[in-house]
Structure 1
Amino acid sequence: MGKVRHRKQTRAARVAASSAPLTDTSDPTNNPHPNQHREGKKGQRRDAEMQDLLDKLRAPEGRDRVFAASTLSSLILSLPPMQLRLLLSRNLIGLLIERLSTLSAPSSSSSSTPPPSDDLSTAIESLGALRNLAVSSPPHILSEMHNKRLLLPLATVHLPLLAHFLPHQLAPPPAPVKPALPATAEQRRAADAANEAHDTLRRSFWDWTENVLTLVWCLAESNTKILAGLNAHAEHIVALCVALLDEDRLGIDKLDGDEQRGEGAAGPGGMDVEAGAAGGKALKKKDVKREKAKRLRVPLFVAVAAAQTLHAFISSNPAAHTHLLSSAGSFTFSPALSTLLSILLTPTPPSSSSRSSTASTDAAPAGPSSSDVDAWAQLRVLAFGSLLEIAKGRSKRRDVETVRDALRSDVAQGVLLGLVGSARLEDSVGEAKKVAGEIDPTALPNQHTTTSDSPAGKLAALERQSQTLQLALEVLSEWLASGLPAAGSFDGAPGAGAEGEEEDDEEQEAWGGISMEVEGGDDIDMGASDGEGEDEAMGGDQVNEADGVIRRRRGDTPTADDSMLDDLAATAGDGDDSDGDSGDDDDGAAAETSATKSGALALLSSLPLQLLALSRPTSLSFLSPSSFAPSPLDAPASASASSSGLISTSASSADLVPHNLAPLAEALTTVHVRATEALNNLYVVLSRAGAAKGATAAARRDAKELQSVFESALQLMLGALEGARTHGPTAAAAAPAASGKKGKGGDKAPQQQGGDEVDEVQERRLEVVMAAAGVVWGCVRLGLDPEPGAGLVVGPDTTPFLIQQVYASPFAAEPTPSGEAIRVRTLGALGYLGRRQGVPAEENAQIGRFLLSLLPARTPAASTSPSTVASTPDILLQAIDSLIDLYADEEREYDVPVFREGGMLQALEGSVPGVRAAIKKVDRNKFPELRSRADGALENLVAFVGYRKEVVKQRR
């Protein structure tokens, strides 16, 4: 899952990097550029100041080190890219990591003695600088941090120190240290140093914690090589995150076993062990609440960082799951899962959650502020995501079964669906534009100008809400892609085993056999050998992509679990079947509760149109940095009309947008992308459920809804492609970034104002095209051969658009997993469009000839243009599958004029040797599953040619 980044607006000033020599300034009359010499002196002075800061990081005086580290932490967010690269070239990262190592791990002899004040402050400020680099720089910066051994001080020093001093931070402040009288000057200095160390630790502890957690969070999401290094310290990482999320430390009242069972969160004995003896607790409930109100709490911003780190660390990382579960021989419910369930099932934040560790314990509990409410919503979403990672496994443990039941409850699903259903992006944009004009750009930020009622506070609230919505959509996409398996649907359970495997195979055949397997190939990292090697080292099965879903993964490397998706597809089918037919359901689906079925019905009835509304761009979406003014300007009244549903709004208006709307604009752009991805995953599930139930069940979908989603997905692709052609750098520069290679080409980007941000906008357009192509594929599956009058209405320009603009676009042409995804999904959609009821023979022939052109010919001389031939095995397999399905029924009305009289059989037979040669190039040792599927596709092609030749003989 992508990080919710809190980016800062960098200054527009840049250093002019001219390779031309300076003109001789000895004679001012001969100098055509009199300011050049002055600018050169300014540049030299800046370089000297930067070097002086780096030198002060190693200064013997502690205050100099603190000043240098804090200054660098602030400069990283405001320096122009060229000066930042200059700093990085002078070993900035290495010097900052060196400052982290000055602290020592806790020991028994120093149980309550904090580190020296200057050393701790320097380490915290250095962590802040590294954190700012991690969240605002290309991914290769994280790799550089890892290569310079950042994990060593983080895991061996800072994580243990934070865990060690957390109880001290939440306890009342210690009494000041006083030297015994009569005291010498040295003793008084030692007492002052100890008091200063305690004060620094107490004042900076939460910032220290957030910096460490954010760094671990960024590292965990970078790539699997770094994740493998983090796994060596998984116990410390998980323990600290869970300790910060503890119910008592957040102020949550633990739910009793009966309450949790009422919410569908626990089975018999599931949570009673954590609730304690009910009899004794009820008598002292008021006293317990009064005592909790006096306790110091973990701030919610730190809890959110801990939840983000935990979710990022355990995502697609089974090695870390064991640290969240109870030991194998334990009969108690996992305390870590109990903590996450309590957060998920608590709808409102604790009343005094805003209390900090420095607040007075006698103060009255304060009600939750708007920022607390937003943070708590984000915390519940992250708890859902973390529990989902545990529920996706194959474990049959009781605590894991309890988690699955909890995630099926209406309360848990309402965490995600409630945020999606209540979001009104246009209203948020209108309010943001109104508030942005009220902010004084010359006012200095302070605690009065950032209150919740101030314009800046309202704008910050809108940004937080959009970021929470973005996170909810990411978790929702993963939930739709993975599903929630029933308790008895695993290997080893009753009704599972070999019979269950046969049912899975039958369901694959219902999807077209090789079609289902090849579809996932759009996400296979075939073009990134480094990523694949890392995945194999982690024991992951990254090449078995078979469901066409979109998953946010480290380095954008997706994974899939067919059985999870099968179960969710069966659930969707039950919700759509009013007659209660369960002939195709597995044993797990038969055991669903009424709450689960009601959740499935709500999902199917309202979610598609809600996601569709969130995928439509607003007037603030997909804007390049040049669209923002350096100072706030009044947004024109006609700005809302500039958004025509196409992702090219930055060119439709010449008026500049207030610069303080840039973070919100970036968040809204990501919301559109994530909503489209969730819509893609939803229609994968619906189309598989329709395939399992047959055409009748598929036709029961609302025809108007299906038509609206289909047309909107095409419009999203059109707008993204037009925006890519019109604005910013070429799509070819953005596609590698979308495939996890952004860091490698980041330094080669054109040195222009906002170039990196423009590339990111292009990357978002690419993601929209990829996800919308999957939505189109799912829609045409559901609209294939339905009941009369319920099918899709396909315009005459749809097929040419998919072939000439989508498949041939620069996004799709890139040799990356994202480009391959667009091409494979486009071919899949064309295969279904070409065999729908009433398809014109001319359109069918266009699709058939295009698919045939992708197959390699017998000899290179007879081959078509290299740009039209399938460039990867997955594209080739999808082209073969779509072509076979297109002409599998010789009774169709287009078969005689197109396939037989058009000479396609001879061309198809002539392509068999070329296909065989291309398949032989797939290394069986490196890609055994891909080679197996390719061999199966070749057998199908040979059998299909033989079958059609027999049909010709019989007709004669």
Structure 2
Amino acid sequence: MGKSQKKRSMRRHNPVRVPDSHLPKGLAAASSSSNKTEAVLPIIKKIENADPLERKWACVAVSNLIHNDPSTRRLLQGKNVVGTLIGRLTDSEEEVVVEAAGALRNLCIDGGYEICAEMYNKNILAPLATFIPKISSVLSQYVDSPKTASENAQKVVYEFSENVITILWCLSETSNKALNAVNDLMLVPFLMAFLSSRDRLPLTTVTSAAQCLYVLTDDNPPVGDEIRANLSYVSCLLEISKVRGAPDVKDKTSAAEERAVALGILGCGILRNLAPFPPPSSIASVDLDKEILLPALLPAVSSVSLQEATDAVRGFVQLQSEKSEGNDKDLKHSPRPDHKSEEELGLERVETSLRTVQLALEILTGVCATLPDPVLDPSIDDDDDDVFVSGDADDSAMDETPDEPMALDEATSHNSTPAPLFLPTLLEPLLALIQPTELSFSAPSPHPPTTSALGAIHMASFECLSNAFFALAAAPAAAASDVQAGQRVWAAVWAALAAVGSPADAAPGSARAAVWDVAVGVLWGVGAVWPGQIAPEEAQVQALVALCDARRDDAVRVKCVGALAALAQHPHPASLDANRIIASYLLALLAPGRTGTETMLQAVESLIDIFADEGAPAEANFRAGNVLAALAGAVEDVRRAVKGIDRKKEGGRELRRHGEEVRDNLVAFVRYRRALGV
């Protein structure tokens, strides 16, 4: 079985609050889909007006126009709103600078990679770099002597700091080039100052600093090394991580508590990014996962009800709609007041709660990913390939291969870490969090940020389950006896997928398609822990075949093949028809050009597993389907595919090694089966 998908192939961006991938590209399309087209051009002009009040008003208006409105945001982008606002960061009036930073911050959060890349390319880091020492100086003054400035002045500085920090956080996830540029700003002392003074600063600003640090410590050695080398920084993070409790979406007065929980979860995430810690740090001898992370993370994912969150959002949206009737004309051409309604605050609290759960799940996904990387033998020569022949050749060409097919994971099993003992505690909340609500994939959504957050939670929950079961597969004895648990997880995943919809109906790149792609990894993991224990159902087999055929991504297709193999191994005579259908499909995947190399290799592994026992009921299908001849005939094609793997590409060396193992096992299996003479 392949290794778990425990490493991200790209940097993780803060969740886009209003996904707009469904919108057509181009300025004309944005103009036709926005109901605020007439307001855009006057606002763009006013950003550069001679009157500072007009400039300030226009910056505020940009934030209002893009609120939950990706069409208008794209229309503003087409009018160079990013470049115009960056120009206002050097405005002579401080209030204009503050509002411009706020508008850019909101564009970052609502726009994602594309708009952040545009900001980086238009050199937003130059003015931002000048703000950091100024903010540090004022922050130190306010912390040491809080009475030196009015409450309103402090509020402006803290909000401005939050805006600058959030922009930096978003930029650091845009590209490696942007990340390196942010690293050059040496932000660790700046950000840690907010965390160290958290009891004297607004929680929202401190949380933004923690979020930025969480991103910057993710696989980023310069920042990680700097923090690990400072014992006071580590101690501060350790204190922050000691959070207990969970956000409660039903409690309308819990905004501060929810932000405090979010800060604690971020502290956990930063510590996990930084681990392991070298002595003399006191945390070096601590079991980070068991003693610090799990006690904080498990309550966060166990105490939230997605259905209650959905019901709360529907209630707030309904009240908003009722109150807004008759007020549209008054608010249409002017910025909204800073004061937020109870409904807006309620929606924000729900979103904060859901995003905190998502963050906790992301960290838990890393905790669950306990499979080690395989140990590669550097002595293996790239050209050290035996020549294998098809089934029509003499068996002597296979004489140097083992008499018995070796276990596919035998070479690395001694490096496997114990299965996560916390899984039984984590299982129930995860199975609840994968179940969609009526808002999870709603289009159009009555509240897009909630829909986005729910989709992200489903994805993170599936990823967490996937890694957990791959970890269990490395040491299956801990779970193999509890067959009912595996069957219950299998049923829960299919129940969730039924609510998501058919894979054939999920548009490529959509949230529904993404859920299918990650959920099938859970099915593969369950099948690996409990092979032969899951009874196949015709609809499930058809869905997995349809998904495999619909995808061109080898990673997804490998999962599909693994899940199908788990069903094909069910030994009951009633399952023989499914075994025959699956085996026939997997054999077809061995044809040259039919699929990618990784999928071909997984199909070979799966067929060996399915027909490993010549005394099993499936032997009848093995003989009737002439599987041995088909496998023997595929040896040469597999050999060529393995030989064609480029070790110089990312992951190529590992794939080549794995391919050579599969090739050897295929040859050994064919020889062993022929030797049986049955």
Partner deviation per Cα, 1:631-678 (whole Å, 9 max, x = no partner): xxxxxxxxxxxxxxxxxxxxxxxxxxxx3x443333223222222222
* Structure 2 residue 506 is the aligned partner of structure 1 residue 782: no
Give the AA of the match of 1:129: A
Aligned to 2:579: 844
The change in CA–CA distance for 1:705 and 1:698 in structure 2 (over 3 A counts) is closer
Distance, in Å, in 2 between the alignment partners of 1:70 and 1:203 is 17
* Structure 2 residue 634 is the aligned partner of structure 1 residue 911: yes
1:226 pairs with one of 178, 181, 185: 178
The change in CA–CA distance for 1:942 and 1:370 in structure 2 (over 3 A counts) is same
Partner deviation per Cα, 1:443-464 (whole Å, 9 max, x = no partner): 78778864xxx45544433332
Contact 2:535 2:570 survives alignment (8 Å): no
Contact 1:716 1:772 survives alignment (8 Å): no
Distance, in Å, in 1 between the alignment partners of 2:344 and 2:74 is 32
Give the AA of the match of 1:3: N
Distance, in Å, in 2 between the alignment partners of 1:434 and 1:47 is 32
1:427 pairs with one of 308, 316, 321: 308
State the TM-score, normalized to the length of structure 1. 0.58
Shift of 1:97: 2.8
Contact 1:845 1:898 survives alignment (8 Å): yes
The change in CA–CA distance for 1:459 and 1:140 in structure 2 (over 3 A counts) is closer
**What aligned pairs does 1:435-514 form with structure 2 within 5 A after superposition?**
435-439=316-320, 440-442=323-325, 450=341, 454-482=342-370, 514=408
1:318 pairs with one of 212, 221, 241: 221
The change in CA–CA distance for 1:147 and 1:621 in structure 2 (over 3 A counts) is same
Aligned to 1:3: 14
Shift of 1:8: 11
Shift of 1:209: 0.9
Partner deviation per Cα, 1:395-437 (whole Å, 9 max, x = no partner): 543427447435422x642221112222222233334434444
Give the AA of the match of 1:776: L
Count of matched residue positions in the alignment of Structure 1 and Structure 2: 614
Distance, in Å, in 1 between the alignment partners of 2:547 and 2:582 is 14
The change in CA–CA distance for 1:403 and 1:420 in structure 2 (over 3 A counts) is farther
Aligned to 1:613: 432
Partner deviation per Cα, 1:350-408 (whole Å, 9 max, x = no partner): xxxxxxxxxxxxxxxxxx962110100111111111111122x4x54342744743542
2:59 pairs with one of 49, 57, 69: 69
Distance, in Å, in 2 between the alignment partners of 1:346 and 1:767 is 32
**What aligned pairs does 1:887-926 form with structure 2 within 5 A after superposition?**
887-895=611-619, 897-926=620-649
1:624 pairs with one of 437, 443, 467: 443
Alignment gaps of 5+ in structure 1: 20-35, 37-41, 104-117, 177-197, 252-296, 328-333, 350-367, 491-495, 499-510, 518-545, 548-561, 573-599, 629-658, 735-761, 786-790, 858-865
1:250 pairs with one of 191, 198, 206: 198
Give the AA of the match of 1:250: R
Shift of 1:766: 2.2
Distance, in Å, in 1 between the alignment partners of 2:608 and 2:116 is 46
Aligned to 1:675: 461
Shift of 1:202: 3.5
1:945 pairs with one of 665, 670, 674: 670
Shift of 1:948: 2.6
**What aligned pairs does 1:11-160 form with structure 2 within 5 A after superposition?**
17=28, 49-50=42-43, 52-53=45-46, 55-56=48-49, 59=50, 62-77=52-67, 81=71, 84-100=73-89, 102=90, 118-154=92-128, 156-160=129-133
Distance, in Å, in 2 between the alignment partners of 1:4 and 1:119 is 32
* Structure 2 residue 237 is the aligned partner of structure 1 residue 340: yes
Shift of 1:841: 3.2
* Structure 2 residue 507 is the aligned partner of structure 1 residue 731: yes
Shift of 1:944: 2.7
The change in CA–CA distance for 1:141 and 1:431 in structure 2 (over 3 A counts) is closer
Distance, in Å, in 2 between the alignment partners of 1:15 and 1:226 is 25
* Structure 2 residue 164 is the aligned partner of structure 1 residue 212: yes
Aligned to 2:394: none
Aligned to 1:363: none
The change in CA–CA distance for 1:98 and 1:723 in structure 2 (over 3 A counts) is same
The change in CA–CA distance for 1:888 and 1:208 in structure 2 (over 3 A counts) is same
2:492 pairs with one of 712, 715, 731: 712
The change in CA–CA distance for 1:941 and 1:399 in structure 2 (over 3 A counts) is same
Shift of 1:173: 5.9
Distance, in Å, in 2 between the alignment partners of 1:73 and 1:428 is 26
Aligned to 2:138: 165
Aligned to 1:879: 603
The change in CA–CA distance for 1:7 and 1:372 in structure 2 (over 3 A counts) is farther
Aligned to 1:807: 548
Contact 1:515 1:881 survives alignment (8 Å): no
**What aligned pairs does 1:549-560 form with structure 2 within 5 A after superposition?**
none
Distance, in Å, in 2 between the alignment partners of 1:793 and 1:924 is 39
* Structure 2 residue 296 is the aligned partner of structure 1 residue 415: yes
Shift of 1:907: 1.9
**What aligned pairs does 1:265-664 form with structure 2 within 5 A after superposition?**
297-326=200-229, 334-347=231-244, 370-391=254-275, 393=276, 396-399=278-281, 401-402=283-284, 404-409=286-291, 412-439=293-320, 440-442=323-325, 450=341, 454-482=342-370, 514=408, 566-567=416-417, 570=418, 572=420, 600=421, 603-625=422-444, 628=445, 659=446, 661-664=447-450
RMSD: 3.8
Contact 2:142 2:148 survives alignment (8 Å): no
Contact 2:217 2:273 survives alignment (8 Å): yes
Shift of 1:723: 7.6
Larger radius of gyration: 1
Contact 1:724 1:765 survives alignment (8 Å): no
Give the AA of the match of 1:772: A
Distance, in Å, in 1 between the alignment partners of 2:611 and 2:566 is 11
Partner deviation per Cα, 1:246-288 (whole Å, 9 max, x = no partner): 1xx222xxxxxxxxxxxxxxxxxxxxxxxxxxxxxxxxxxxxx
The change in CA–CA distance for 1:228 and 1:930 in structure 2 (over 3 A counts) is farther
Secondary structure class of the residue paired with 2:297: helix
Higher relative contact order (CA 8 A, sep 6+): 2
State the TM-score, normalized to the length of structure 2. 0.80
